[in-house]
Chain A
Amino acid sequence: MPSRAFELLWTTASVPKSGQRADENEDACAANPTAGRFAVADGASEGWRSGPWARHLATAFAKAPPDPASYPAWLASTRLEFPNGQPEALSWYAEEKQAQGAFATLLGVAFRESANGGGAAWKAVAVGDSCVFQVRDGAIVTAFPIDSPGRFSNQPPLVSSTGNGPEPDWFAGRAEIGDEFFLLTDGLAEWFLRESVGGRSAVERLNEHLDNPAAAAFRAWIHDLRQSHALRDDDSTAVRVRLEHARRVETPS
């Protein structure tokens, strides 16, 4: 791996919807910081094994991200590698539900060294309403694939584990040292866009809680947002990636 001018520092936090255990959380995130890849996926409540499918999708992106030309083949092989559920005798609904498959959003971001020097080039793929926000000096400079809080719906496009799904959206951009990227599942993404208009910056508040080393603190904050109806009661996941100068490692010549 050639040395890069930048380093990617990342952190994540996730809280399941009220009354659910951590293992019932159907949001997933995956990271491969060495290769510069990060993904979140949000398993649909109605799907059969949406949580495992979301984890599988996010992990597949972190392992080997697709580009627009390779996406259909990438999805086909990702589906093939998704382990089948239990083969034993199933109830009538388990049988039908398993045939319908699992569904999840996907938001993947990949960084690479910019040929122009200094910063990074980045690209993103999105199916559904999980979002990435590029923030510079506390202000949102890129919002993808949704840029307005009014555009979230209850029926986002989803990647299916069985059938052909919708075409993804793609984005490519440049990043500078000091830029922050927030990958958020829909509830938090909607909150982030809404709260970024005037008032105390959403970036500042999200950073404050992501930086709090006590795991319970993030959970408590999400709980408070739900109680005040600022955030809808859904699985909520955030990943933050910061571009920093690479620490120089002296190598003997």
Chain B
Amino acid sequence: MPYSAEITRANPAGILILIDQSGSMGQPFAGQADKRKADGVADAVNRLIQNLVLKSAKATGVRDYFHVGVIGYGAELAAGLGGSIPDDVMQPISKVADKPLRIETRSKLVDNGKGELVPQPIRFPVWFDATAAGKTPMAGVFEVAEQVLKRFIKSHPGSFPPTVLNLTDGRPSDANPLPIVERVHDLATADGNVLVFNLLISTEPTPPVFFPADESKFEDTYQKLLFRMSSELPPKLADAAKSDGYKLGAGARGLVLNADLTSVVRFLDIGTRVTTGMR
């Protein structure tokens, strides 16, 4: 049965995050004037990496259950966790753990035991800084992703198939990415085909659409394109989405439209829920 490989150090899970860094990402989220899209996405990605490190950290060391890569696309295409593209985009999580750019102190609200929420300082490691400049070379970034994933699959042919999470707020400025994305869909480990999930940040405060199963209701051809670029959620992730309360039709895709900041966090969370099968 595909998409059932255990996640072990011998068969780590690959997670590749593609982040739109075009100029428009410097604008705030629709209906949330105090948060730039680029900052919200960077926070969510840093938090995701932090969670992956915490899942893998043992008293005896950080176990390489995951290999993670980030590629930003905007004025340039750049590996977000250091290194160069495409050779060392994917980094073992133990290496990532010890090399944040810096550790910030932020505050989080916690219950003080009397039912009151009080701010408490927390350490917030930052690997990836927000950038917003230039256009949206989405076809280009998927071409790089293809190279990166081929390399990962060659080294880990038995792993759970790598997951690509693409977060954007606009349309590709270079070329139609669909033919390249279809080649990416065709890449596979022994456990199944590469998964490509997409999220489109809203330009207007309209309710988000999570994991649609049917493109016929979309009037916008770009939304249809993103639908076709998105893989069906495998059972493990569909179950994760359902247990979070999303109603999924048969064949639901890993796609979120009209995303706000909360949807970005939930997309990254559900899209990486392959991580619950660690052994």
User: A97 at interface (Cβ–Cβ under 8 A)?
Assistant: yes
Contact status A46-B55, CB under 8 Å: yes
CA distance A56 to B59 in the complex (A): 16
Tell me if B's interface is mostly helix, strand, loop or mixed.
mixed
- Quick one: CB contact mask for B45-64 with A, threshold 8 Å, 1 for yes? 00000100111011110100
User: A48 at interface (Cβ–Cβ under 8 A)?
Assistant: yes
Closest to A24 in B: B60
Contact of A97 among B10, B57, B276 (CB under 8 A): B57
Residues of the B chain whose Cβ atoms lie less than 8 Å from the Cβ of A50: 58
- Quick one: CB contact mask for B120-148 with A, threshold 8 Å, 1 for yes? 00010100000000000000000000000
- Nearest CB in chain B: distance from A236 CB, A: 11
Contact status A93-B62, CB under 8 Å: yes
Residues of the A chain whose Cβ atoms lie less than 8 Å from the Cβ of B50: 93
- Nearest CB in chain A: distance from B73 CB, A: 29
Contact of A96 among B60, B62, B123, B276 (CB under 8 A): B123
User: Given the interface contacts A45-B278, A91-B98, does A233 sit within 8 Å of B125 by beta carbon?
Assistant: no
Residues of the A chain whose Cβ atoms lie less than 8 Å from the Cβ of B97: 91, 93
Contact of A154 among B53, B100, B276 (CB under 8 A): B276
Contact status B125-A92, CB under 8 Å: yes
CA distance A234 to B125 in the complex (A): 31
User: A18 at interface (Cβ–Cβ under 8 A)?
Assistant: yes
Contact status B278-A46, CB under 8 Å: yes
Q: Which of A78-131 contact B (CB under 8 A)?
A: 85, 91-97, 100
- Quick one: CB contact mask for B248-279 with A, threshold 8 Å, 1 for yes? 00000000000000000000000000001111
User: B103 at interface (Cβ–Cβ under 8 A)?
Assistant: yes
User: How many contacts between A and B, using CB within 8 angstroms?
Assistant: 52
Residues of the B chain whose Cβ atoms lie less than 8 Å from the Cβ of A100: 54
- Nearest CB in chain A: distance from B159 CB, A: 13
Contact of B58 among A48, A91, A96, A155 (CB under 8 A): A48
User: B39 at interface (Cβ–Cβ under 8 A)?
Assistant: no
- Nearest CB in chain B: distance from A161 CB, A: 12
User: B156 at interface (Cβ–Cβ under 8 A)?
Assistant: no
Contact status A97-B54, CB under 8 Å: yes
Number of residues in B with C-beta < 8 Å to the partner?
23
CA distance A135 to B278 in the complex (A): 31
Closest to A48 in B: B59
Q: Which of A129-176 contact B (CB under 8 A)?
A: 154-155
Residues of the B chain whose Cβ atoms lie less than 8 Å from the Cβ of A95: 123
User: B171 at interface (Cβ–Cβ under 8 A)?
Assistant: no
User: Given the interface contacts A49-B59, A233-B279, does A93 sit within 8 Å of B54 by beta carbon?
Assistant: yes
- Nearest CB in chain B: distance from A74 CB, A: 24
User: B228 at interface (Cβ–Cβ under 8 A)?
Assistant: no
User: B173 at interface (Cβ–Cβ under 8 A)?
Assistant: no
- Nearest CB in chain A: distance from B142 CB, A: 31
Residues of the B chain whose Cβ atoms lie less than 8 Å from the Cβ of A209: none
- Quick one: CB contact mask for A14-35 with B, threshold 8 Å, 1 for yes? 0001110000100000000000
Contact status B103-A92, CB under 8 Å: yes
- Nearest CB in chain B: distance from A84 CB, A: 11
User: B150 at interface (Cβ–Cβ under 8 A)?
Assistant: no
User: A232 at interface (Cβ–Cβ under 8 A)?
Assistant: yes
Q: Which of B75-128 contact A (CB under 8 A)?
A: 97-98, 100, 103, 123, 125
Contact status A232-B279, CB under 8 Å: yes
Contact status A155-B276, CB under 8 Å: yes
CA distance A49 to B125 in the complex (A): 22
**Which B residues are closer than 8 A to A by beta carbons?**
6, 8-10, 50, 53-55, 57-60, 62, 97-98, 100, 103, 123, 125, 276-279
Closest 5 CB pairs of A and B: A93-B57, A49-B59, A154-B276, A45-B278, A234-B279
- Further 15 A-B residue pairs, CB within 8 A, beyond A17-B8, A85-B59, A233-B8: A17-B279, A45-B278, A46-B54, A46-B55, A46-B278, A48-B57, A49-B58, A91-B97, A92-B103, A93-B62, A94-B57, A96-B54, A96-B123, A154-B276, A234-B6
